């Protein structure tokens, strides 16, 4: 078996089991840590599939911001542990019905989309082109950088100026022009008397 294929199966199966443990977990803090591990496994899978940009987005946005935000919210709310399987069997028929409706609509959309493929029986387009040999060997980040800094450099600079103006506007909204009120002094006598 190929090593890349073995890694692909490892990441895929680990992601599925990790997602299952997140849902059925009783402790919410453990679920958040498992969510961070799930995003790390997804990053490894995306790197294996040579999608470097999406892998970096997963690390920066999902692990660096969203998971940490969830962890802080759970720690600040001080949620108690509860058993999520207590009423699971009461909701089992409705859960099964929703899953069947979802799967039915999913397969209807897939088979309808394949039936509407106009190039399937056309004699002009009935050949297999391997597009992998027609592209250059370039990563996603290189392609994104070349497109962003060559074709869309003016738009990129305008966006940077808009973000700079937004930061200046946010600072100016919080800045009070009166210097007397902006200087905070401590009144120790009032604090000690309270």
Per-residue pLDDT tens over the stretch 126-154: 555 555 555 666 677 777 888 888 888 88
28 found inside a domain: yes
Taking the C-alpha atoms of residue 8 and residue 49, their distance in angstroms, rounded to an integer, is 9
Number of domains within the chain: 2
Of the candidates 21, 69, 60, which has an alpha carbon nearest to the alpha carbon of residue 39?
60
155 found inside a domain: yes
**Are 1 and 75 part of one and the same domain?**
yes
**Are 3 and 78 part of one and the same domain?**
yes
Over residues 175-189, mean pLDDT: 65
Report the 3 state secondary structure along 142-183: HHHHHHHHHHCHHHHHHHHHHHHHHHHHHHHHHCCCCHHHHC
**Are 141 and 75 part of one and the same domain?**
no
| In the predicted structure, residue 100 carries a pLDDT above the cut 90 | yes
> In angstroms, how far is CA 147 from the centroid of its own chain?
23
Range of the domain at 144: 136-177
Most confident of 75-79, 111-115, 120-124, 160-164: 160-164
Q: What is the DSSP string of 97-149?
A: HHHHHHHHHHHHHHHHHHHT-TTSS-SSS-S---GGGGS----HHHHHHHIII
**Are 77 and 144 part of one and the same domain?**
no
Least confident range from 14-23, 109-118, 182-191: namely 109-118
188 found inside a domain: no
Task: Name every residue whose Cβ is closer than 8 Å to that of residue 49 and which is 6 or more positions away in sequence.
Answer: 8
Per-residue pLDDT tens over the stretch 117-129: 555 555 555 555 5
Reported pTM = 0.53
Between 98 and 177, residue with greater pLDDT: 98
CATH of the domain at 23: 1.20.120.1200
Average pLDDT of every residue of the chain: 78
Taking the C-alpha atoms of residue 26 and residue 83, their distance in angstroms, rounded to an integer, is 6
32 found inside a domain: yes
What percent of the chain has a predicted confidence (pLDDT) above 70?
A: 75
Between 15 and 178, residue with greater pLDDT: 15
7 found inside a domain: yes
Taking the C-alpha atoms of residue 29 and residue 22, their distance in angstroms, rounded to an integer, is 10
Residue at which a domain ends, from 66, 83, 100: 83
Output the pLDDT for position 37.
92
Taking the C-alpha atoms of residue 117 and residue 74, their distance in angstroms, rounded to an integer, is 48
56 found inside a domain: yes
Residue at which a domain ends, from 52, 67, 83: 83
125 found inside a domain: no
**Are 6 and 71 part of one and the same domain?**
yes
Task: Name every residue whose Cβ is closer than 8 Å to that of residue 15 and which is 6 or more positions away in sequence.
Answer: 38, 41, 42, 45
91 found inside a domain: no
Output the pLDDT for position 121.
59
Per-residue pLDDT tens over the stretch 34-92: 999 999 999 999 988 888 888 888 888 888 888 888 888 877 776 666 665 667 677 78
């Amino acid at each position: 078996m190929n090593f890349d294929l073995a890694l692909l199966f490892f990441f895929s199966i680990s992601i599925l089991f990790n997602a299952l443990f997140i849902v059925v977990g009783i402790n919410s803090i453990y679920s958040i840590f498992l969510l961070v591990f799930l995003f790390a496994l997804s990053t490894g899978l995306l790197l294996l599939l040579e999608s470097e940009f999406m892998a970096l987005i997963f690390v920066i946005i999902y692990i660096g911001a969203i998971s940490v935000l969830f962890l802080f919210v759970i720690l600040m709310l001080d949620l108690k542990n509860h058993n999520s399987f207590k009423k699971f069997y009461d909701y089992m028929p409705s859960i099964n019905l929703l899953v069947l409706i979802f799967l039915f609509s999913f397969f209807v959309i897939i088979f309808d989309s394949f039936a509407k493929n106009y190039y399937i029986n056309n004699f002009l387009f009935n050949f297999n082109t391997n597009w992998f040999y027609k592209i250059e060997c370039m990563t996603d980040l290189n392609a994104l950088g070349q497109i962003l800094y060559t074709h869309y450099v003016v738009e990129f600079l305008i966006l940077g100026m808009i973000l700079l103006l937004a930061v200046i506007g946010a600072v100016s909204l919080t800045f009070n022009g009166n210097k007397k009120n902006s200087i905070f002094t401590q009144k120790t006598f009032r604090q000690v008397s309270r």
